[in-house]
Structure 1
Amino acid sequence: MSSFLKFSRCFLLLGQMKKAVLDASAKSTSGLEQGDVFQLGHFDQCMGVGSFGQYCLADVRLEGYRLRAQVSRQMSTENSTIVHWGVCVPASCADSDVGRLLQMTTGSREVTIPERGCHRESGNGKTSTAEVVYASVITFFVLMVLASTCYHVRSMYRSGSEKQSTFRCVLMSFSVVENLRKLVQDSKDDHGLGCINGIKSVAMFFILGSHALLFMAGGATYNPGFHGEQAKLLRNAFLLNSPLLVDTFLLLSGFLFARLILIELDKRRGKVNFLVLYVLRYVRLTPAYVAIMALYATWLPRLGSGPLWDQRMLLEQSRCQSSWWLNVLYINNYVGTDRLCMFQSWYLATDTQLFVLAPLLLYPLWKYGRRAGMTLAALVAAVSVLIPFCVTYFGQLDPSFMIFTDEVVDVQSNYYFQNVYVKTHMRATGYIFGIFVGYLVHWMQQKK
């Protein structure tokens, strides 16, 4: 009886709501034949009425729609029967009331409100201890940057040279002026490999574009059918297969590391402390890496709003809160892949693992000469090609990570992404060939 009274009150309040609030709700479906299952209404208009209203995004199953999408050779999906329906209702309405209202208006027998599916204008909420700590640390470093930059600018206009003390060196390392100078200065000796920068730029351009496409394909779009039609065109193949472009960076990483190590081995006659290299890499990468993960785990959900924002960002936050330590150890591509903190972080784990293993190939290449070294490199390269072939063939998997809507709504939960795409033994080929090319370039430059 109590629930009926609450529903009746919600229903009566709905009839008294302002026109702007009622107008913010999705009235009917449109574009279902094109696969548009996001009927969002108007989120900002609903939230603009203040504490009186709330925006809810419900999952409504509509009978009679069976638009099947062929995702790959192994699977197809009926992805258009569940419609994500946005409504603006009184803030006093419970989730169950919203569900019953939508059942009445849509005729659907199955309406569910996902967790965090309703949004109220209730302020930003209480700040957690972790958020305060993160903000304090970032503020400290911002103040350090400002202080050191001011000190640097002041010292530039002072006559005479100042004594180079440890304190001054530490302070200058935070100077914006000093760091910009180092970033834009020309390399004194690039060994004739300046073209590498161009390759990096082109690869980065396509990788950024492909990742934008990835999120568009898995998000709310007006005409998702257009994506399916464009996927059939040969001219768009380079975008649909863009996950393979990441191998460009693995190849360059292997190439540059090989050049560095081989030069050092020549200089030091084989006496290179690889442990020091590992520690230096860890110290160089991890602080900035941790800062971004901490942002995900604390403030990220507060940085925006929208119909899907809380569902997506709070999920990212919970994953980083539970598995950040796997990222710090650089094993997150093998352990806890179902709760991966930042889906793009798999690359750092893979690259770091290959960095640790690379000396096992590089040292024999340098030590035993070109013939024996090249034989070993060819053998390792063949194994690195054979492993992905066997995994793909016997597992009857797709040849690469396929960008289809159902597959990329939540990338971290995708089976191929978790079990194939992020694994080092599946991505080692590019890195190994990079080492191989780096050795050849080093050998040819020595001959000159």
Structure 2
Amino acid sequence: MIGTVFLLCLFVLTNGQFFAGKNKFCCENTSDSRLWLSTTLETRQTLQAENPADLQRAVPVSQGSSWWTDFPVLPLVFANSNTIPKGRCRKQVQRYLKELANSTLWAVQMFDASTKYPDGVLHGQTIHLGSFDQCYNLRAELPPDEFSDIGEPDEVEGRYCLVRLRYQRKDVEPKRPKTFTLDFDPNLSVWNAIDYTGDFRRVKRHSVYLSLCVPASCSSQDVTTALTEPLKELANARQIQLDVTVKPSLCQARTDVPEDFTVGAKVFLFIVAGLFVLVVASSWYDSSVYSSEEAVKDNEPRDLFLSFSAQRNLRSIYANESSHPGLDCINLIRFFFTACAMFGHRSMQYYGYPLVESTYLEKAYTVPFSMMVFNGTIIIDGFFSIGGLLAAYGALRDLDRSKRLNFTALILNRFLRLTPLYMLVVLFNATLMPMMGSGPYWEARVGFERDNCAKNWWANLLYVNNYVRPEEMCMFQSWYLSVDYHLYIMGLLVLWAYWKLPRRLGYPFLCSLIALGIAIPFFITYVQDQQPVFILLPTLPEVRKDPYFLGQYIKSHTRIGSYMVGVLAGAIIYDHKDATWRLPKAWSRFLFILLAVGFTIVSESLAAKYFDPNSELHPLETAAYAGFHRAAFALGICSIVVLITIGDGLDFHRNFMTPRWVPPLARLAYGAYLVHNIKQIYDIGATRNPRVFSLNDWLSNFLADMFYTFGISLLLSVVVEWPIRKMEQVVRTKQ
């Protein structure tokens, strides 16, 4: 029965009915079995002709035909195209068409794996994935026939492609409405819901991705060439302008993937194996050979070897020592912000990738509370402010002790603490990660990450990747490490100058730098008429292609204000360490609510108008928000630490901010930040089906991210991060 259906479909196609818009079977005497049989035989004989692709012909289209009811069946358009370039691809397509008429399994499997007709487009389901594995794993040995070279057997494999069809009415320019809406009058034209008129909240319904399974001998360019002319002929008959695009990264076959481990993958595995051998050997020596008598002896090589002891590193990770009433609160802030970053990056998977109901995502923009998520990128400024606070406290302590700062040693120590684990993750992304899976978006995401890391790892190593080739940045979240490193170096210079100045001049000096940090984004936003915040769009599959992300968001000079707020807070806390004065209870609680709660929530929620396309934006107001909101959020976060340090009556707040389970997780935050995106990229690349934008799925994915990420971070901390820290401590104490 299935074979008969396919044969009838091909009969309609070869008789010109496809291009006449008749995507259904019709004949006058459907009850006459002889007519069905004769049709089948005639179609089979026709398809076995020398060049069946030349049989395609266009038929005049009636004026009543509709683009929506006559949407092309993509695999049939491709198989019958006259414009397939000559060569092996064309011969295999001709063989495919013949075997499809014969109901041969491999041909039907190729046809079955392709998308026939899009559904749910009006609700934003614009990506239709078909059956990836059915196509990707297709492989068949073909006996010789008239399409084979000199009678030799042939082999066919599947190539899975996502074809983008972008369509709009001819000679009709969509007009911007007076008021953007997410609801449309059902009695008006469907083009009101299809046309893109500037509402960035909406998925672009005039751009549809359809899966197409073709022989692996056909390239993405062959597919584009084969589809462009017949599809445009169909579209022109209906006054539609149609563009066909097939990106090489979205057109992949199993034959494209190397079967053996690459040299880079072998190097990565060798490094990892060597580290595990060191950890096992050091742990065995620490537990079985090392004694208390040896502990009193000065032996630097032995101490360096013991830095890899798993027992010692686990004790350091799980240690729970109180050092400072205010600084202890930073552990919870660091863990919470790391979790928020993971949650935010997980939410980015819903932008530009297959969704069943994009309307849920679009309407989320209209919910006021959604700014806690959509403008959640502001939490990064909390990270920077905490980094500046800790840098200030540590640098001022060292200056008071030694009366000088060893800039070279401090910068080098920071480099050695951050870089080994960082480069190991970069190497993993460039070598082993691409070999761990497959999927419709595998090459577009994992392959994209592989290529960027292979080409630009040196920019990550030198911490300049936020300025050098940022559009090809390896690990998109790594920009934070470069900005933090730049600001740390700047902070050391600022703190040395602050320490030299009398306090009556030192505090105004720091405040002037905060003002400079506010003025820079203010000036850029006002002069260049740019958006003030990073707006995650439903049409943004890759942040490294967003102009605001590349031009402002990842630049060190736009984050000076947040970092200097932290430096000022660190200076206040350090200068207060010997003071007996305390802020009164009433003022402490009032300022905590005003700054820690009010400033953080207000600075984040005020962005709502910039996520509303109906808002009237004034350049000066927009620039003011761009300049002040990050520093205001940083002030709110740092006020927690400062008020708990100098305030009175905040015992409950301190106890809440210093639970015993947080310090170990906070120590794993750096590793978690580095590796959390690996699982998320894997999920995107390997996705086979559209997902639903729902809070339940969102939270389920997030909890899985937390479990996997912190588990892997614990392993990497024991094997790489903490051994490096211990070795650095051993070397520093010997100096």
Match of 1:447 among 579, 586, 599: 579
Q: Is the aligned partner of 1:353 residue 2:353? A: no
1:96-134 CA-partner distances (Å, limit 9, x unpaired) = 664537986995664333114333334643433222222
1:335 is displaced (CA, Å) by 1.9
Mapped partners of 1:287, 1:195: distance in 2: 28
- Corresponding residue of 1:234: 368
Residue 69 to residue 252, structure 1, CA distance change in 2 (3 Å): farther
Match of 1:17 among 84, 102, 105: 105
Structure 1, unaligned runs of 5 or more: none
1:426 is displaced (CA, Å) by 0.6
Mapped partners of 1:263, 1:438: distance in 2: 11
Mapped partners of 1:310, 1:58: distance in 2: 15
Residues 60-79 of structure 1 correspond to what in structure 2 (within 5 A)? 60-63=165-168, 66-68=194-196, 70=198, 79=204
Does structure 2 retain, via aligned residues, the 8 Å contact 1:103–1:110?
no
Which region of structure 1 is more displaced relative to structure 2, 144-153 or 342-351?
144-153
Match of 1:169 among 292, 300, 303: 303
1:115-171 CA-partner distances (Å, limit 9, x unpaired) = 143333346434332222222222211222222223333347xx7644653333222
Q: Is the aligned partner of 1:29 residue 2:118? A: yes
Which region of structure 1 is more displaced relative to structure 2, 192-201 or 383-392?
192-201
1:337-370 CA-partner distances (Å, limit 9, x unpaired) = 2221111111111000010011222123222222
1:266 is displaced (CA, Å) by 1.6
- Corresponding residue of 1:85: 210
Mapped partners of 1:445, 1:34: distance in 2: 59
Does structure 2 retain, via aligned residues, the 8 Å contact 1:59–1:111?
yes
Larger Rg: 2
1:282 is displaced (CA, Å) by 0.7
Mapped partners of 2:519, 2:116: distance in 1: 55
Residue 124 to residue 142, structure 1, CA distance change in 2 (3 Å): farther
Mapped partners of 2:371, 2:251: distance in 1: 39
Q: Is the aligned partner of 1:392 residue 2:517? A: no
Residue 17 to residue 393, structure 1, CA distance change in 2 (3 Å): farther
Mapped partners of 1:404, 1:418: distance in 2: 15
Match of 1:41 among 130, 136, 139: 130
1:202 is displaced (CA, Å) by 2.1
Structure 2, unaligned runs of 5 or more: 1-50, 52-85, 141-156, 170-190, 236-241, 581-735
Mapped partners of 2:228, 2:114: distance in 1: 11
Does structure 1 retain, via aligned residues, the 8 Å contact 2:517–2:562?
no
Match of 1:210 among 344, 362, 387: 344
Letter in 1 for 2:431: T
Does structure 1 retain, via aligned residues, the 8 Å contact 2:517–2:557?
yes
1:50 is displaced (CA, Å) by 4.7
Match of 2:163 among 58, 61, 64: 58
Give the SS at the match of 1:447: coil
Residue 17 to residue 90, structure 1, CA distance change in 2 (3 Å): farther
Q: TM-score, normalised by structure 2?
A: 0.56
Mapped partners of 2:575, 2:272: distance in 1: 46
Give the SS at the match of 1:150: helix
- Corresponding residue of 2:546: 414
- Corresponding residue of 2:273: 139
Letter in 1 for 2:366: K
Give the SS at the match of 2:327: coil
Match of 2:475 among 339, 342, 354: 342
Mapped partners of 1:245, 1:378: distance in 2: 22
Letter in 1 for 2:128: Q
Residue 96 to residue 373, structure 1, CA distance change in 2 (3 Å): closer
CA RMSD of aligned residues (A): 2.7
Letter in 2 for 1:17: L
Q: TM-score, normalised by structure 1?
A: 0.90
Mapped partners of 1:353, 1:400: distance in 2: 22
1:27 is displaced (CA, Å) by 1.9
Residues 47-446 of structure 1 correspond to what in structure 2 (within 5 A)? 47-50=136-139, 52-63=157-168, 66-68=194-196, 70=198, 79-93=204-218, 95=220, 98-99=223-224, 100=226, 110-122=243-255, 124-155=258-289, 161-162=293-294, 165-187=299-321, 189-190=323-324, 192-268=326-402, 270-406=403-539, 408-446=540-578
Letter in 2 for 1:7: V
Does structure 2 retain, via aligned residues, the 8 Å contact 1:296–1:316?
yes
Q: Is the aligned partner of 1:8 residue 2:97? A: no
Does structure 2 retain, via aligned residues, the 8 Å contact 1:262–1:442?
yes
Give the SS at the match of 1:400: coil
Does structure 2 retain, via aligned residues, the 8 Å contact 1:13–1:90?
no
1:49 is displaced (CA, Å) by 4.2
